[in-house]
Structure 1
Amino acid sequence: MISNLFNIGSKAVNNAQVSINTTSNNIANAETTGYQRADAVYDSTGNINVGGNSLGTGADIIAIQANWDSFIEDQYLAASADLAASKASSSYLSQMDSILNQSADDGLGTTQDAFLTSWAELSMYPNSSSEREALLGEAESLVYSLNSTSAELKKMQYTIEDEISEQVASANEYIDGIALLNEQISASPDNYELVASRDQMIRELDEIIGISEVVPSDGQVKIYTESGMPLVEGAETHNLVYTSARSTESLMPESTYTGDVNFSGSSSEELLLEFTSSGPDGSAKFKVSFDGGKTWAEDENGNTLIYTAGDVDNSVNIEGVDVYFSGGTTDHTEGDRYTIVPKSGLYWQGNDSSLINCTPMTDASGKDVSNRSTGGSLSGLLKVRDDELLPVMSNIDDMAAALIWEVNAVHSQGAGLTSHLALEGTYSFDDQAATLSNSGLTYADNIESGEFSIYTYDADGTVLSNASISINPSTDSLDDVVNAINTAFPGTLTASVDSEGFLKLQSATDVSFELADDSSGFLAAAGINTFFEGSDASDIGVNSYIQGDPSHVNCGEVGTDGLVSSGSNDTAKSINELMTKAITIGNETSSQVASLSEYLSGVVSGVGAAAATAETQIICDSSAAQLYYDQQASVSGVNVDEEMINLTRQQQQYEAACQIISVSRDMFDTILGMM
């Protein structure tokens, strides 16, 4: 019995030492991020029978156990991932709002209004050179504003994509690190500090890409993306990949099509093509979805848009992406699908190196598509790029393209202070023998059946001749237009095409010319007698021909007598009317009818509203994340005051255990003394 008492005391001393060590370690790591408060777990060592009595044998410490609530942690991970996504989005939305701030003197809204207003001022003084100089100054300010806005937004895109690349690399390091810790924990399952390190690493990964975790009975944690793709299963890993634009196909079982889908250009949208009829390239039809097949693109009347599969010469443009097929010697089958991702994206990589897209996607109602990533900073970065930045960049480009076209369409048929001796187009034709609609001209789709007039003058300004040149974009080529001009003005005006595909008009000696009454849009599309050059916000510029000679800023127009009245101001007035005139801006799947000012105001206010919403979302997400963080901290965090109390109690436990040993030794000595 005395020996049992001694054993109880010995074990109690050891247990107290372990408990004191554990508590001391808790205190030492009170400020260590991710540290989980540990407790010594005691278990009775059972009883022995002595003289018919059941006597206890003390207790052993069977484990050092960290305090952790998995249920709370699951809720924290979800909230933390949402917060990380909100923060990533909000940061860039605030920057976008600053870039588009219209209150600035050099902001887009201010410079655009000043430019259009300057045409009204020119209309009041149509013969003024100083007004033309002032107008060119306003034009240069607008061009600079558009160019710089485009450049800043493009730089932001590159910054976001660089950050995405870095975060994917970090996520993969965490994935590999968690798998390594799984192996180490498997070899040392009672090492609670390894478990705590793994839990902290899981939190770090969750902030990058929202995850869910499963902890089987063997303690080998399994990590999945929100859409259920495994990232860590024991020691096995699946990495994330951030890669460039790509396409995939999903053909019907009976399909025999052997060709490939091809595309050029970029877009914030993913394009899902589904064939609605069978047949070869040139006749088979397909529809397009931007949300993975939940809805299908429609025209302004609500009818599903149907496209014809064509080769490279008959490509179709969808959201800025030219789509065509090549190499097909057999028919498409109804139901065949092709997915085009015309942007860099986030993918999960399988063991066979196959890639599954987990880039965030929203449907037509703005809701997240369920099989994609939604939480974590990666999701926030990709969402702000695809749902905010790229659409805004596209909107600014669409507005610039509309501004260029509308101003040029008026200016190209107007007249300035002096007639022309020579003109060169600013837009090149890829194929001068092809029909105008298939010539590769930037604004080819804007050319309509119609005509334009040319007037020639002698050295005294007397009309020599005039002719109307008919245009049919479906049947006429640039060569046809050149021949028609040369036939109409033999010896006085020569039309030609240079080696780069630009149309040139050259008058004979002592002959000048004017252009007028273009109902076809050909002159503006070719860049003849235009004010602007370029096609979007990044490359818009003032025509160098006008910059070199401001007298060619057109204010008036050719009258019915073939002459330009000194007080003519119809061209300037028409361009000024663009301040309030409703025009179509955008493409067939996302166009809007509005004035330039209204359109820009809508874009800017949309970004401002999104930035404000993101800030509010951060507040909500922060509250939720903090709530679960605090709940977990109350379970796993170290309270130094409590640990000091525990330390005092354990010190007393140690002293009592020593007393047990001392008593048992005294009892043993007494017995020895009786012998």
Structure 2
Amino acid sequence: MSSLSSLLSIGRSALSTSQAALQVTGNNIANVDTEGYSKQTLITKDGSYVSGSAGQLGSGVVAQEVVRSHDQFIEAQYLQRGTARDRFQTLYAGLSSMQNLVNESNSKGVNASLSNLFGDWGDLTGNTDSAATRQTMLDDTNTLLGLYRSMSSSIEQLRSQADQAIAADVETVNQLAKDIADLNKQINSTQVDGQNIPNGLYDARDKKIRELSALVDVNVIDNGRGNLTVNTNAGQTIVDGMVSYEFKYEQGKTVRQLSSDSITAGSDVQAYYEGSDTSEYTLRVKTSGGLGGVGGATFEASLDGGKTWLTNDDGTVATFQADGDTGKVKVGDLDVWFGSTTDPTDATGTLEEGDTFTLVPKKALYWYTTAGTPVNVTPQQYGDGTDNPSRLTGGSLTGTFLFRDEELGSYQKTLDAMAKSLVWEVNRIHSQGAGLTPFTEVQGSYSVNDSTAALSSAGAGLAFGDRLEAGSFMMYVYDADGKLATDAATGEPIQAAIQVDTGDLAHDSLDDIVASINTAFSPTYLTASVVNGRLSIASATGSSFRFGDDSSGALAALGVNTLLTGSTAGDVAVNSVVASDTNKVCVGHVGADGLLASGDNTTAKALAALEDKDISFYVTGQAPVSQTLGEYYSGLVGKIGSDTANASYQASYQSTLAAQLDAAQLSASGVNLDEELTNMIKFQHSYQAAAKLISTADQLMETVLGLKN
């Protein structure tokens, strides 16, 4: 029923609603520069109606709720583009640092040092006795090897920095997950549908999700209120309502997936390894059998989860089998063997075709389920460069992992391959040469783990054991006058070819070589022994010795009469024997007659020619490459430049797309001051009109009351 009190009530509701609208507008204006703030709007509806003589009459306006402007569809697209942007920006930042390490624009790079070194050997071909030229060669060699060590150390520093960044980011991810779960809880306890929406909590949650997406890829499923789920694109749950899940950055775990036959038999076999690598190793049993030796199981190996398999030099898939003596086999950079789940030395089990083992010889990222089961989510790329979709694929955490494992790992392996081939090729030539003075004693620079194991086996552990061939090396003994010694009874020269045969059990170990040397020369002329796993030879009083042709490579593999030591870019150095005595620099070569001709430059010529010689470089998981040392290093520099340019392009491209989506979201949720000022004027006039309505109702009430008087 129409009444003056109804008119006052309508004015009051209009006044209150206009005041609320002004407050919302004022809050928008105050937060115009607040990051993550979404524009808010007061939703109103007309009040209830009553029937009067004139029909249905309204009772005023009701301020129902305050809602925020936010486009979930655009936000979902932004999260995908933003996480890709942060991945490539992180990757580009790391690659830029790496690119600075291989800057060849000046005259003091690796290729320049290589040219200087081989130039020095060229100088020695014409001046074989010059101590100054020999010292210059050693100095330039140290300069080159110093560059290798410096680059390797810098890569290790970058890897260490990446590890620290990963650890910090994982802590942040876990904290953000807890924060989002807590916000979900607060939203559920605060929100009253249709009446009270905690817009500030929603904004805070969206901001946290954006921060999370900057670290890992996310997929948001919003079921309303606090019932929000955040997954990775691969499906690992980070937040489920009020529950958060944890990531851990820890040492990699070995996981086995047994075939049905092994499961039926209750197999207890587990894979083990020694060494470290930036790649993961997947081992798949090809033929069933014991854990090693004749009739033992064979298996294949993959570095990309089984997408591609390691191959032999001819392109066929490589098969591996544990050695019968040591139970181990060299697979890439790891020594692998099998035992039981409780005892790594228990070799009594059997492997069945299809049994698969995944080795993770590095610190990796694991997602833990509610049951506490770890799932490996460390970013991984297949051999064709695509991402493993079951792992993390976005965010700065992914970028850091890819930089550490895929990029730095690849560059380090390439640099190591170059250093290893340089050492082998130089030592292979130098070990067969002769210096100005013979040896009275010598000790190899490379040691074996087991002197009874075949030199080419994993049990011996020689860095260059895989490059040995069946053959022999020559040794010559000289008297006190430096002349080739002869047997007093027969007049025959004291020399011998020491057999090395990797396929002959009587001549394949270091103990066998020692026995062969002693049989040929001990005790009258010299004695061989094993000292700390190294070949040691000492001559008798008044005798000395030299080395000659070596068709087996044993001298180079054992580090005897060599110029260089080490086998990686981080440990290459000049042999201390040569560094302390330039007379031990091998320029000449002992002839078949056991004599060294004055001025002979055979070894120096061979080493100088190495600059233009195509040699082989081996990187696990890649086909062998045959190039010169300079070409191979230029290829590394070119790849780093190409990878950096590609990361830069992707970072720029993804940044542009993310910026466009962010702008689209801002157009929907951002505060527009012109719009808010217009609204403020509108609501001000509404407030004034409501006040006028109340004033008019008051005047009418006074008129009615005046009628009584």
User: TM tier, shorter chain?
Assistant: over 0.9
Q: Deviations over 1:528-575 (max 9, x none)?
A: 100001111111110000111011111110123322122211111111
Measure how far apart 1:605 and its partner are: 0.5
Q: Paired residue for 2:586?
A: 554
**How far apart are the structure 2 equivalents of 1:535 and 1:430?**
16
Q: Does 1:4 align with 2:36?
A: no
**How far apart are the structure 2 equivalents of 1:594 and 1:460?**
45
TM-score by length of 2: 0.93
Q: Paired residue for 1:441?
A: 462
- The answer to whether the 8 A contact 2:474-2:495 is kept is yes
Q: Paired residue for 1:136?
A: 138
Measure how far apart 1:408 and its partner are: 0.6
Q: Does 1:463 align with 2:492?
A: no
**In the alignment, residue 422 of structure 2 is paired with which amino acid?**
L
Counterpart secondary structure, 1:362: coil
Range moving further from structure 2, 103-112 or 61-70: 103-112
Q: 1:159 to 1:263 in 2, by over 3 A?
A: same
Measure how far apart 1:319 and its partner are: 2.5
**How far apart are the structure 2 equivalents of 1:560 and 1:253?**
62
What is the aligned counterpart of 1:472 among 501, 509, 516?
Answer: 501
What is the aligned counterpart of 2:273 among 235, 241, 263?
Answer: 263
**In the alignment, residue 320 of structure 2 is paired with which amino acid?**
Y
Q: 1:246 to 1:98 in 2, by over 3 A?
A: same
- The answer to whether the 8 A contact 2:10-2:59 is kept is yes
Q: 1:560 to 1:293 in 2, by over 3 A?
A: closer
Q: Paired residue for 1:319?
A: 332
Q: Does 1:544 align with 2:551?
A: no
Q: Deviations over 1:408-446 (max 9, x none)?
A: 111011011111221111011222222322322222222
Q: Deviations over 1:116-160 (max 9, x none)?
A: 222112112111111101001101101111111100000100000
**How far apart are the structure 1 equivalents of 2:705 and 2:30?**
46
Counterpart secondary structure, 1:377: helix
- The answer to whether the 8 A contact 2:187-2:225 is kept is no
Give the aligned length.
675
Q: Does 1:198 align with 2:205?
A: yes
- The answer to whether the 8 A contact 1:493-1:505 is kept is no
Counterpart secondary structure, 2:67: strand
**How far apart are the structure 2 equivalents of 1:7 and 1:296?**
82
Q: Paired residue for 1:534?
A: 566
Q: Does 1:501 align with 2:533?
A: yes
**How far apart are the structure 2 equivalents of 1:587 and 1:340?**
19
Q: 1:225 to 1:313 in 2, by over 3 A?
A: same
- The answer to whether the 8 A contact 2:521-2:527 is kept is no
**In the alignment, residue 460 of structure 1 is paired with which amino acid?**
D
Q: Deviations over 1:305-330 (max 9, x none)?
A: 22225679232222212211013533
What is the aligned counterpart of 1:592 among 625, 640, 645?
Answer: 625
What are the within-5 Å matches in structure 2 for residues 140-289 of structure 1? 140-189=142-191, 190-255=197-262, 256-282=266-292, 283-289=296-302
Counterpart secondary structure, 1:409: helix
- The answer to whether the 8 A contact 2:514-2:530 is kept is no
- The answer to whether the 8 A contact 1:123-1:569 is kept is yes
Q: 1:561 to 1:289 in 2, by over 3 A?
A: closer
**How far apart are the structure 2 equivalents of 1:307 and 1:498?**
30
Range moving further from structure 2, 190-199 or 581-590: 581-590
Q: Does 1:627 align with 2:646?
A: no
Range moving further from structure 2, 303-312 or 334-343: 303-312
**How far apart are the structure 2 equivalents of 1:492 and 1:115?**
40
- The answer to whether the 8 A contact 1:106-1:145 is kept is no
- The answer to whether the 8 A contact 1:456-1:512 is kept is yes
**In the alignment, residue 666 of structure 1 is paired with which amino acid?**
Q
Q: Paired residue for 1:338?
A: 357
**How far apart are the structure 2 equivalents of 1:631 and 1:420?**
79
- The answer to whether the 8 A contact 1:257-1:329 is kept is no
Counterpart secondary structure, 1:437: coil
**How far apart are the structure 2 equivalents of 1:5 and 1:264?**
88
**How far apart are the structure 2 equivalents of 1:288 and 1:622?**
38
Measure how far apart 1:106 and its partner are: 3.6
Q: CA RMSD in A?
A: 1.6
Structure 2: segments with no counterpart, 5+ residues: 192-196, 340-345, 486-493
Range moving further from structure 2, 614-623 or 114-123: 114-123
Range moving further from structure 2, 399-408 or 660-669: 660-669
Measure how far apart 1:262 and its partner are: 0.2
**In the alignment, residue 457 of structure 1 is paired with which amino acid?**
Y
**In the alignment, residue 499 of structure 2 is paired with which amino acid?**
S
Q: 1:539 to 1:312 in 2, by over 3 A?
A: farther
**How far apart are the structure 2 equivalents of 1:300 and 1:57?**
90
Measure how far apart 1:644 and its partner are: 1.6
**How far apart are the structure 1 equivalents of 2:322 and 2:481?**
57
Measure how far apart 1:166 and its partner are: 0.3
What is the aligned counterpart of 2:605 among 551, 573, 582?
Answer: 573
Q: Paired residue for 1:373?
A: 392
What is the aligned counterpart of 1:411 among 419, 424, 430?
Answer: 430
Counterpart secondary structure, 2:536: strand
- The answer to whether the 8 A contact 2:435-2:588 is kept is yes
Measure how far apart 1:492 and its partner are: 4.6
Q: 1:482 to 1:362 in 2, by over 3 A?
A: same
Range moving further from structure 2, 620-629 or 50-59: 50-59
**How far apart are the structure 2 equivalents of 1:652 and 1:319?**
79
**How far apart are the structure 2 equivalents of 1:657 and 1:134?**
98
Counterpart secondary structure, 1:537: coil
**How far apart are the structure 1 equivalents of 2:552 and 2:347?**
37
Structure 1: segments with no counterpart, 5+ residues: none
- The answer to whether the 8 A contact 2:183-2:226 is kept is no
**How far apart are the structure 1 equivalents of 2:109 and 2:202?**
54
Q: 1:3 to 1:222 in 2, by over 3 A?
A: same
Q: Does 1:454 align with 2:475?
A: yes
Q: 1:84 to 1:270 in 2, by over 3 A?
A: same
Q: 1:309 to 1:423 in 2, by over 3 A?
A: closer
Range moving further from structure 2, 425-434 or 473-482: 473-482
Q: Paired residue for 2:81?
A: 79
Measure how far apart 1:24 and its partner are: 1.1
Counterpart secondary structure, 2:350: coil
Q: 1:450 to 1:309 in 2, by over 3 A?
A: closer
**How far apart are the structure 1 equivalents of 2:704 and 2:151?**
98
**How far apart are the structure 1 equivalents of 2:59 and 2:381?**
65
**How far apart are the structure 2 equivalents of 1:330 and 1:490?**
45
Q: Paired residue for 1:665?
A: 698
**In the alignment, residue 516 of structure 1 is paired with which amino acid?**
G
Q: Paired residue for 2:649?
A: 616
What is the aligned counterpart of 1:126 among 104, 125, 128?
Answer: 128
